Amino acid sequence: MSERRLSVGYILSQEQFPSADLLDLGVEAEAAGFDAVWVSDHFHPWQDNQGHAGHAWVTLAALTQRTRRIEMGTGVTCPTYRFRPADVAHAFASLSGLAPGRIFLGVGTGEALNEIPSGGGWGPYAERAARLEEAVALIRRLWNEDWVSSEGPYYPLTNANLYDKPPAPTPIYIAGAGPKSASLAGRAGDGWITGDGPLLRPERRASLDAFLAGWNGPGARRPAPPILVEQYTVVGDAADAADAARFWQFMPVARDLLTEPDPRAIQRHAEKHTTPQEAAGRMLVSPDPADHIQRLRALEAAGATHVFLHAPQLDQRRVIAFYGSSVLPALAA
């Protein structure tokens, strides 16, 4: 990535915008000086009013041909129900061939709104975590070995071979909010995807500790870990934030909704139990570049190596231009 130590990325929200618009925004993010983008990988949006759910891998493939420098990947793919590990390995090997050295794979245990409606199935957390750990191991084997066989238990393979393997290392970052998923990310991933809470809120510190314990487990000799942080960011005032938060109103009650497969029901639940102002309270909201720089530096000091901005407002170009002109140059300096 760039010469500055902290990498700053931009999130292309497949839930909220059509793929054609996201391609243009990805190109503009690269021109503005962002280091990376990630694309959300959903079959359904979180809330019905978000209105979109294009295929992340198609967007990424097109973006490889319209950019030259920026790194890109998913935030995040579930490689266990809707997609099987061999399909994910195949797709991201091909993406790596289109943009060598610029692709990463973000994975997680999934949400019901993506896995159940698409026919993939669903299971309790312990099963989802076990499936993810097996899937990550299989993806790595398929990228690095010929004629892979495995007895499972979840994904048996017999003589599976990717003829076009990734031409450059492709990291696998594992997402997790709670300590169990953070521990899994530490021991099985090449880094951790999380929100700003575990780094900035003392009551969430247990997740960071669990990740670091997994990363530095017995026998591990690993460098300092990549920690990718999703930072919800509004460039504007409280009114702008409240307008944006209508599309992400479920956030304060998200843990209650991981097993709900219907985005209409998620939106109804959010509107009944939260307010846009409550959701906006979980975001960085300011028109002042100094506030945004301060938050990025605070995350860096807490251990973040990559911060990805998630801008829920409709005017995405305002955010990209603001960071390109007033925030990223100050960080580089």
Distance CA 318, CA 121 (A): 39
For the record, the structure tokens of 318 come out as 């305002």
Identify whether 42 is a catalytic site residue: yes
Residue of 42, 44, 269, 306 marked active site: 42
Residue of 15, 30, 71, 111 marked active site: 111
Q: For strand 284-286 and strand 192-195, is the pairing parallel, antiparallel, or unpaired?
A: unpaired
Positions annotated as catalytic residues are 42, 111
